[in-house]
Amino acid sequence: MIGIDITSIDRIKKMYEKFGIKAYEKFLNTNEIELIKKPETAAGFWAAKEAASKALGTGIGEHCGFHDIKISKGKLGNPKIKYKKEVRKRFGIKKSHLSITHDAGFAIAVVVNVLKKD
C-alpha cells in the first residue's frame, strides 16, 4: 500500500502565523511539535500524515485521524512513521516506511506500508 502527498510550505507557514501553536496541535503531538524548527518540517509532517492515510486507502477521517499517525526521527535524522496499534491491526500493517523531501516551496511525502501475510 502506497500513499503520496504534496503540501505548500507557505500554506502551513501562514496557518502557523495565524493560529500559532494551536495550528500544529491539530495534526501533531507534543513530541512531533518539538522536532519542528522551521515551516518546511511542519509541512513535511503534514504531507507525511496525509500520505500515510492515503496509503490506507481512506484519507484522514473516520478510520484514521492525524493523531493516529506518529512521526519521529531516526538516529541519522531520517523520518520514521508509525500508526497507532489499532490502525495497524485494522489494516494488517506489518511495517511502514516514510520519505519526505522539500523543493520549490513544497513538501512531498511518500509512505509505503508492508502488510502482514494472511
**Could you tell me the CATH number of the domain that includes residue 58?**
3.90.470.20
What is the tens place of the pLDDT at every residue in 89-99? 999 999 999 99
* Residues 62, 96: Cα–Cα separation, whole Å: 20
- What's CA 1's distance to the chain center, in Å? 15
What range does the domain containing 54 cover?
1-62
Averaged over 33-38, what is the pLDDT? 96
Residue 14 bears catalytic tag: no
50 annotated ligand binder: yes
118 annotated ligand binder: no
* Residues 62, 115: Cα–Cα separation, whole Å: 21
Query: Per the structure, how many domains does the chain have?
Result: 1
Q: Which of 26, 49, 102, 117 is catalytic?
A: 102
Residue 63 bears catalytic tag: no
Of 66, 76, 68, 74, residue with least CA distance to 42 = 66
Does residue 93 sit within a domain? no
Q: What pLDDT is stored for residue 117 in this prediction?
A: 84
Does residue 54 sit within a domain? yes
Query: How many angstroms separate the Cα of 110 from the Cα of each of 34, 48, 100?
Result: 22, 7, 7
Q: Which of 18, 37, 38, 54 is catalytic?
A: 54
Does residue 51 sit within a domain? yes
Kind and range of the H or E run holding 99? strand 93-103
